[in-house]
Chains A and B, each alone.
Chain A
């Protein structure tokens, strides 16, 4: 069974969470919360997860190579290390041996391993296998995030059994109720009674607009709901996963969008893809006098990678490129404004600037997500 996908999962965890809270009374002082979480995560994967052999073999691969890269192969170039960790995911994305290697959630585990590897300097002293396995396989975030950070996750577990308390249970329960409302009521309503009314292949402007706005709302409700469920269950198990959505429809600029929509992915891409690329470009002598070009190359590559990560189909790549173009255009506009000390909006009231910015961003975002959905009729 996949997390949060069917009723069995909810029943299982509504049995296991009270058991975990009861176990606190017996295990406190004998077994750590980290070891218990790692055991529960392994138990779920081994017994319930589809393709458990692949997932466990992949976890063993990641544990081995993360350990080698952190402690033995310290002189290896960072890019090569990342390629070793990302190799199974890349093979699956390239459609090589998908049935043998592939399983749901491979990307998110890979992201977590790359984070641990690239932050190795700070983490080496605090690295522990029990925490690492719990971090990689933590059931609530196993399938689709949010993408946590090792040091933050470990910080929660280090606080021990005191993390499991009444307020964590109540807060977790409230998030789960909100998640259920978003995903199983809101998204379902939009899918059934909004998107279901339009002919999916239609090229009529009204149909395209209906699908474009409907899909953006559907995707938000579905994914934000899923994230709330994951965060809520994590909270009940003593781990405070990072927030993934923060009122994305109030976005004013492209960089602001990625601080509000799938935040944990946006942060991961910024820290472990954009910054290393920008740093490498800064080392190129010819680009020394072209700071804007360096930024724009790094920005566009980051979003192009995001598109390719979703899949190598045209609609994913074009959608990633669109997000890249939005960011490059905005970055260039900001750069020129700073350079020439210009203010495009003059004395326009700030509320009007904000309203127009939000309106423009909603259109741009909905269009990019429409392309992402694979329903855009001119891209087949």
Chain B
């Protein structure tokens, strides 16, 4: 139980740090989705 709680706490902190860090440093919400859309379309066409 103790190990499970510690693991949960560890991963909560990791995800929080990652989310805050990415929002602060890289502005992921401003990334254009055009490239993503073309990638998905291209892969779809290959199969």
Decide whether A and B assemble into one complex: yes
Interface residues of A (CB under 8 A from B): 7-8, 11-12, 15-16, 19, 43, 47, 174, 177-178, 180-181, 184-186, 188-189, 192
- Size category of the binding interface on chain B: 10 to 19
Q: Complex: how many Å from CA A148 to CA B15?
A: 29
Q: Are B21 and A11 in contact (CB under 8 A)?
A: no
Chain A residue nearest to B35 (CB atoms) is: A8
- A12-B43, A16-B43 known; A178-B25 Cβ under 8 A: no
| Docked complex Cα distance between A180 and B19 (Å) | 10
Q: A15-B43, A16-B43 are in contact. Are A181 and B21 (CB under 8 A)?
A: yes
Q: Across the interface, do B18 and A15 meet the contact criterion of CB distance under 8 Å?
A: no
Residue B14 at the A interface, CB < 8 A?
yes
Are A184 and B39 neighbours in the complex by a CB distance under 8 Å?
no
Partner of A188, one of B25, B31, B40: B25
With A and B bound together, what is the CA distance between A184 and B24 in angstroms?
11
B26 touches A184 (CB 8 A): yes
Asked if B8 lies at the interface with its beta carbon under 8 angstroms from chain A, I say: no
Question: How far apart are A293's CB and chain B's nearest CB, in angstroms?
Answer: 49
Cα A11 to Cα B42 in complex, Å, equals: 12
* Interface of A (DSSP majority class): helix
Residues of B with C-beta under 8 A to A180: 18, 22
Q: How far is B28's CA from A11's CA once the two chains are assembled, in angstroms?
A: 13
Chain B residue with the shortest CB-CB distance to A23: B47
Report the Cα distance A101→B22, complex, angstroms: 37
25 interchain pairs, CB-CB under 8 A: A7-B31, A11-B35, A11-B36, A11-B40, A12-B39, A12-B43, A16-B43, A19-B47, A43-B46, A47-B42, A174-B11, A177-B14, A177-B18, A180-B22, A181-B18, A181-B21, A184-B26, A185-B17, A185-B22, A185-B25, A186-B21, A188-B21, A188-B26, A189-B25, A192-B25
CA distance A185 to B17 in the complex (A): 8
- Measured CB to CB, the residues of B under 8 A from A are 11, 14-15, 17-18, 21-22, 25-26, 28, 31, 35-36, 39-40, 42-43, 46-47
User: In whole angstroms, how far apart are the Cα atoms of A185 and B28 in the complex?
Assistant: 12
Chain B residue nearest to A12 (CB atoms) is B39
DSSP majority for the B interface? helix
What is the distance, in angstroms, from B45's C-beta to the closest C-beta of chain A?
11
With contacts A7-B28, A185-B22 known, what are 9 further pairs, Cβ within 8 A?
Answer: A8-B35, A11-B40, A19-B47, A43-B46, A47-B46, A180-B18, A185-B21, A188-B26, A189-B25
Residue of A nearest to B40 (CB): A15
Query: What is the minimal beta-carbon distance from B7 to any residue of chain A, in angstroms?
Result: 10
Bound-state CA distance A43–B31 (Å) is 26
Q: A11-B40, A15-B43 are in contact. Are A184 and B25 (CB under 8 A)?
A: yes
Name which residue of chain A comes closest to B15, CB basis: A177
What residue of chain A has the Cβ atom nearest to residue B20's Cβ? A185
On chain A, the residues within 8 Å of B21 by CB distance are: 181, 184-186, 188-189
A181 CA / B10 CA spacing, docked (Å):
13
B17 proximity list for chain A (CB < 8 A): 181, 185
Contacts of B25 in A (CB 8 A): 184-185, 188-189, 192
Distance between A188 CB and nearest chain B CB, rounded to angstroms: 5
Expressed in whole angstroms, the Cα–Cα distance for A168 and B31 within the complex equals: 30
Nearest 7 pairs of A and B residues by beta carbon? A185-B21, A11-B36, A181-B18, A188-B25, A8-B35, A8-B39, A12-B39
